[in-house]
Amino acid sequence: MQWLNFFSIKQKLASLLFFLLISVSYLVISTISDANQHKQNNMKIEVAQQQHLVVEQFINAFFFARQQTIISGEKTSTNEIKKNQFLFEQNLKAMLYGGKTYIDFSMKNSLYHEAISNEIIREEIKSSQKLWKDLQSASQNLPLEIINIEQLTIFHHLSNRLREKLNTIVTSLTLQRDKNERQGLLILQLSWLFILIMGSIFAWLIARNIIQPLEGIANVASRIRLGDLQSYPIAETHHDELGTLLYQADEMRLVLSEVMLSIQQHNQQIVHSSAQAKQLSEEMNSLHHLQYNEHTNVLGQLNTLEQQNTAQLNLLAQHADFNVINRQTIAHHQQSLQMAIDSIKALQQCNNINTESLTTVSLDAQQLYDVLENIETIAIKTQALASKATIDATHAGKASEQFTLVANQVAHYSAITATDIAAISPLVTQFKEQLNHLAVSVSETDKQLSQSQQQFLQGTHLVNALYQQLDSQQQHSLNLTQQNELQALQIRTTHTVLEKTLSLLKESGEKTEASNLFVRDLNKISVQLEQLSHDFKLDEKENRTRRGNDKRLYPRIANQLTITLQQAENTLQGLTQDLSLTGLQLKSMKSVVFDQQTAVTFIIDLPSREADSQIRRFNLLGDVVHYEQQGDIFYYGVHFRPLSEQQKSTLQEIFDYFDKKSEFKHAAF
């Protein structure tokens, strides 16, 4: 049924729904019509049965009126008989020609009765109508007050025939109703069967036409779920929405195939980058912990410094108090020194007077010593003369006894004088020596007083200097206090900043740990993605073909590798943007000016295929031939110097690592 492929799903479902609506409408209308026919047939049977009752009612009313007339001898009312006659004739008219009839004997409730179409039954009804007329004639020919056996027999015979005819009509109507119901049920069943068959066929065709692309979509989804991204031919071309969806599903498979192919080509870079990101995140996390610990230590040291600064401020305050006390003490000592100096001056004056007096006494003592020596000499000489005189007097005799006595006395007194002078002379000598010693002592005292005066003057100068030094120290203490207060303010400010920084570091640490967990999960996902990417089945790709006048014989890869450029003291690290076997383009956030006349050493970090993500490095020489800045990013164009076969083979490992072809096939333009 290829013609269904050109209709949309809405049109297909609308046609199926239209068919179902028509079928259901037909079945409903047929069911309603059968129900209405059944109702009419029942009504006809009820009317026929009512005719039977009317006849019975008529006969009963007739015999009742006759009996009453015979008994009472008076004519009774015939309204009941006429009423039955009218009702019977009205029902006959409705059965034959259709029209209004009554469903009760009070003739208050009427309904419409369709005419009976069956000719046999109509003939039966007409026969019953004739018998009814004959019965009416017989009842009219039979007076109510006269008993006539012959007429009664005729009446009885007609009434029995009429009852039989009415029973026949009821039976015929009942048989006809049953027949019509069986026919209607059969037709309804056949209609249901036809509709069911046709609807099933039509629905099966539409469902098959809809399910077929759905199966194709399910097959594509199942193949995608199983990792099979290869292309398969489509059995039929559908122009409806499902065909479009099938085409889009195949396009999605194609896109997924391209994506998985790109992932397979770049999964090593992803694993390498995620491993580097993981390592960098762990290092950042470790550095953050170290920084947090260092900040904590600095904060602790700052607290200690703040305590020391507070203690130093207290010591400076105590030192200021001590300075005040020292100033008071020094002022008191300065007054004492001045008084001591004045006292020393007075002592020096007294000492000078004593020195002068000692000098005079010393001279007098010397004179006394000289006098005593003279007296001692004179006494000795006198004693000698007295002794000589005594000797001479002795020689002279008695005439000089008085002279001898005087001479003896003079000698005696001279000896006493000499003895006393000899006794006094050591004392005078000793006194003289003591005077000399006293003079020396006074001289030394004068010297000491002079020295003490000089020392007191020096002490005064020292006290003044100390006073000035105390003033300087007090000013220095004030300056230190101000500096310490300023330092305390700075410490408090630094403490607040460090607390905020520590809080930020703590929050940053939490985010760093969350980032570390994310990077670890990313690394796991990248490894799983690498393992998963090799489980997909992809269409084989032909070797890439270069067209036109592009003379490049080697492929370029856009995978980012870490490159370090070194030239003398200049060092630059960046990522490759475009790498080939002849050169590369480097992207970096740092600007370095290279000498284009000097070779630059390139250190290329090549990731390892092992699970430990080790890095292999090898060096190349080249020249920076291009420099460009775009915003905050700097681009460097690099051209390799001639490579050896070993270097080419080593550099080729990068292309093998990223599953790139080492050469291009040339094609005609």
Which CATH number characterizes residue 303's domain?
Answer: 1.10.287.950
**At which of 178, 209, 240 does a domain end?**
209
The percentage of residues in the chain with a pLDDT greater than 90, rounded to a whole number, is: 0
Domains identified in the chain, total number: 3
Compute the distance between CA of residue 659 and CA of residue 465 in angstroms, rounded to an integer.
90
Please give the C-alpha separations between residue 9 and each of 101, 239, 246, 252, in angstroms, as whole numbers. 56, 10, 14, 22
What Rg value do the Cα atoms of the chain yield, rounded?
78
Token digits for 63? 């015999």
CB count within 10 Å of CB 449 equals: 22
Contact 299, 495 (CB under 8 A): yes
Residues 323 and 450 in one domain: yes
In 3D, which of 469, 464, 465, 480 has the Cα closest to residue 323? Answer: 469
Instruction: Tell me whether residue 625 is in a domain.
Output: yes
In 3D, which of 213, 263, 217, 261 has the Cα closest to residue 240? Answer: 213
Residues 640 and 561 in one domain: yes
Angle at 593 between CA 589 and CA 595, to 5 degrees: 140
Contact 608, 602 (CB under 8 A): no
Question: In terms of pTM, does the model score above 0.85?
Answer: no
Contact 246, 216 (CB under 8 A): yes
Instruction: Tell me whether residue 527 is in a domain.
Output: no
Instruction: Tell me whether residue 536 is in a domain.
Output: no
Q: What H or E segment, with its residue span, contains residue 281?
A: helix 241-396
Instruction: Tell me whether residue 487 is in a domain.
Output: yes
With b for 16 or more beta-carbon neighbours within 10 A and e for fewer, the 120-149 pattern comes to ebeebbeebbebbebbbebbeebebeeeee
Contact 61, 84 (CB under 8 A): yes
Q: Collect contacts of 400-406 with beta carbons under 8 A, ≥24 apart.
A: none
Instruction: Tell me whether residue 404 is in a domain.
Output: yes
Q: What is the pLDDT of residue 24?
A: 76
Q: What is the pLDDT of residue 553?
A: 45
**At which of 209, 225, 252 does a domain end?**
209
**At which of 499, 516, 533 does a domain end?**
516
Percent helix, strand and coil across the chain, each to the nearest 5: 75, 10, 15
Compute the distance between CA of residue 134 and CA of residue 142 in angstroms, rounded to an integer.
12
Q: What H or E segment, with its residue span, contains residue 628?
A: strand 615-630
Compute the distance between CA of residue 479 and CA of residue 485 in angstroms, rounded to an integer.
10
CB count within 10 Å of CB 400 equals: 17
Which CATH number characterizes residue 657's domain?
Answer: 2.40.10.220
Q: Which residues of the chain have pLDDT under 50?
A: 3, 542-554, 611-612, 661-669
Please give the C-alpha separations between residue 567 and each of 12, 613, 624, 629, 644, in angstroms, as whole numbers. 75, 28, 11, 20, 21
Q: Which residues pair with 633 in a beta bridge?
A: 630
Instruction: Tell me whether residue 228 is in a domain.
Output: no
Residues 372 and 456 in one domain: yes
Contact 556, 618 (CB under 8 A): no
Task: Name residue 180's amino acid.
Answer: N
Residues 512 and 553 in one domain: no
Compute the distance between CA of residue 378 and CA of residue 369 in angstroms, rounded to an integer.
14
Residues 505 and 564 in one domain: no
Q: Which residues pair with 615 in a beta bridge?
A: 607
In 3D, which of 190, 253, 193 has the Cα closest to residue 220? Answer: 253
Residues 615 and 500 in one domain: no
CB count within 10 Å of CB 542 equals: 7
Residues 486 and 576 in one domain: no
Compute the distance between CA of residue 506 and CA of residue 629 in angstroms, rounded to an integer.
37
pLDDT, one tens digit per residue, over 64-73 is 666 666 666 5
Range of the domain at 614: 545-666
How distant is the alpha carbon of residue 504 from its chain centre? Answer: 15
Contact 101, 113 (CB under 8 A): yes
Contact 576, 559 (CB under 8 A): yes
Residues 13 and 161 in one domain: yes
Instruction: Tell me whether residue 357 is in a domain.
Output: yes
Residues 336 and 379 in one domain: yes
CB count within 10 Å of CB 450 equals: 13
Residues 484 and 550 in one domain: no
Compute the distance between CA of residue 253 and CA of residue 537 in angstroms, rounded to an integer.
11
List, as one string, the DSSP characters of 546-564. E-TT----S--B----EEE
Residues 510 and 567 in one domain: no
Compute the distance between CA of residue 390 and CA of residue 371 in angstroms, rounded to an integer.
27
Compute the distance between CA of residue 338 and CA of residue 628 in angstroms, rounded to an integer.
87
In 3D, which of 600, 606, 603 has the Cα closest to residue 641? Answer: 600
Q: Which residues pair with 638 in a beta bridge?
A: 584, 624
How do strand 99-102 and strand 562-567 relate by DSSP bridges? unpaired
Q: Which residues pair with 564 in a beta bridge?
A: 573, 603
Residues 504 and 555 in one domain: no
Instruction: Tell me whether residue 261 is in a domain.
Output: no
Backbone CA torsion sign across 649, 655, 657, 661:
negative
In 3D, which of 42, 81, 41, 27 has the Cα closest to residue 58? Answer: 81
